[in-house]
Structures are given as C-alpha cells and as structure tokens.
Amino acid sequence: MAMAMRLAAARVALAGPLGLRTALFSTLTSSSPFVPPPTNQAERPPPAEPSTNLFVSGLSKRTTTEGLREAFAKFGEVVHARVVTDRVSGYSKGFGFVKYATIEDAAEGIKGMDGKFLDGWVIFAEYARPRPPLPVNNAGPSPYPPAYGSPYGRQ
C-alpha cells in the first residue's frame, strides 16, 4: 500500500554532448518508473569524425602529459600528447589531447582507453574537433601573438 517511498530526486541528467558524468561507482541505474524520454532518442550522432587527434576528458587533476601518453601508447603510436593546463595557474584543466600516427591507431586508442580508469578517474576518449586554421598571419583577431608555428590538427 502507501509506503513511505524515498523520493529518489528525479535527477535529470543534463547530459552534454557525451553525457559526461562522474559515473565512477554509480552504475547509473536509470530504472525510474516514470522517466519520460526526451524528444530525441532515436538519433545517435557520433561524437566526432574520425581523426588522428583524440580528445581525452575526465582526466585527473594530477594526470600529466606523460601519464596520458604512456596510457595511450599501449594501443598505438602516439605522435603527440598533451594535457591542457592553464596558463596562469599551471594546473591541469582535466582534459587533454592525444594524437596517433594513423586513424586506425586512434580508433584502437579510443576503444582501449575510453571508459577506462586513469589515475583513479574514468576518462573518456574520442576524436577531437578540427581547430581553426590558426591565424599565423597577423590578419585576424588573434588574441595570441603569431609566434607559434603550425599546430596539430593535420594528418
């Protein structure tokens, strides 16, 4: 009958593009009796297009570039790896980038490290987005001095 059921606080997961969440121990048992599906649940858009650049998120604040490279180098040849850190603080922003030599290695790296643990945190690996052409010429609103050569983002 009327049992004092605990309000499970209908937490509407404000899932982003990936639904990133600290699902460490929580298995995310979405078995709510009343959970109206969103307007969209028939389309599963890919996170990004295949590329050699990988975007790794969910990194621990103490995970560094070497740790990231060492972790992804087990699934392919990592050409480049970097953990994004702040310029003024110097601390990791919690995500990084890993560039493989080929697309197939990148795919293996994703399937091998996406959803895995790194430094005690679940990390997410996916293809990175294409970056702006980087105005190496002073003919654009570049907040940064054109003192950097061609970046990564090309295969």
- Within residues 48-107, the interface with DNA by CB under 7 A covers 48, 53, 55, 57-61, 80, 82, 84-87, 89, 91, 93-95, 97, 99
CB 93 within 8 A of CB 85: yes
Q: Edge-to-edge strands of the sheet including 53-57?
A: 78-85, 92-100, 53-57, 124-127
Helix (H), strand (E) at residue 109: helix 103-113
Q: Which of 16, 36, 46, 141 binds DNA (CB under 7 A)?
A: 16
Regarding 21 and contact with DNA (CB under 7 A), the answer is yes
| Residue 55: CB minimum distance to DNA, A | 4
DSSP 30-62: ---SS----S--S----SS---SEEEEES--TT
Tell me the window of 37-45, 67-75, 109-117, 136-144 that interacts with DNA (CB under 7 A): 136-144
Query: Minimal distance in Å, beta carbon 7 to DNA?
Result: 22
Contact yes or no for 97/55 (Cβ under 8 A): yes
Judged by CB under 7 A, does residue 144 bind DNA? Answer: yes
**Residues in touch with DNA (CB under 7 A):** 16-17, 20-22, 47-48, 53, 55, 57-61, 80, 82, 84-87, 89, 91, 93-95, 97, 99, 121, 124, 126-129, 131, 134, 142-144, 148, 151-153
